Amino acid sequence: MLNSRIVEISVGIFVAFGMAALLVLAVNVSNVSGFGGGDHYTIVANFDNASGLKARSSVSIAGVTIGRVSSIEVDPVTYEAVVKMTIDSRFKEVPIDSSVGIYTAGLLGEKYVGIEPGGAPDYLEEGSVIRLTQSSIVLEKLISQFLFSQSSNKK
């Protein structure tokens, strides 16, 4: 009787740890984890194509997350994607001539914004607009271009 009670308690603890591990995995995959908590500033970049990028996607420099995408909208005049990013104030010395690109992380195809620092003596501040941008690469377009170029080479 005591032996079966110990087995039941052990199984219960094992199931509880399994549920906790699944919860941690879900939070990490969905980017729900809190970012920062202190001061931050907002910068903006316009892209021709921001496909796959979502609000709460990470913004990084050299692989280190420094912020999150706060919103993505369409400019009604230029029809470009306007991406607003919230950057932690600890990273306030990002040169104003930096460039940004939308890249793919990992096998799941999660998109993120990568910042390549420039060399200007002035730094990004609240409301700065980054002009040098590289849009998201659409895999379908690359495949169609490759197939089209292969078919035109056979002629």
Domain boundaries, the chain: 1-30, 40-139
Instruction: Judge whether residue 148 has pLDDT over 90.
Output: no
Per-residue pLDDT tens over the stretch 21-53: 988 888 776 655 455 456 999 999 999 999 889
Distance CA 2, CA 8 (A): 10
Kindly indicate the confidence band of residue 103, based on its pLDDT and cuts at 50, 70 and 90.
very high
At 77, give phi and psi (nearest 5°): -95, -50
pTM over 0.85: no
Instruction: Judge whether residue 8 has pLDDT over 80.
Output: yes
Amino acid found at 152: S
Handedness of CA 26, 29, 30, 36 (dihedral sign): positive
Predicted pLDDT at 69 = 96
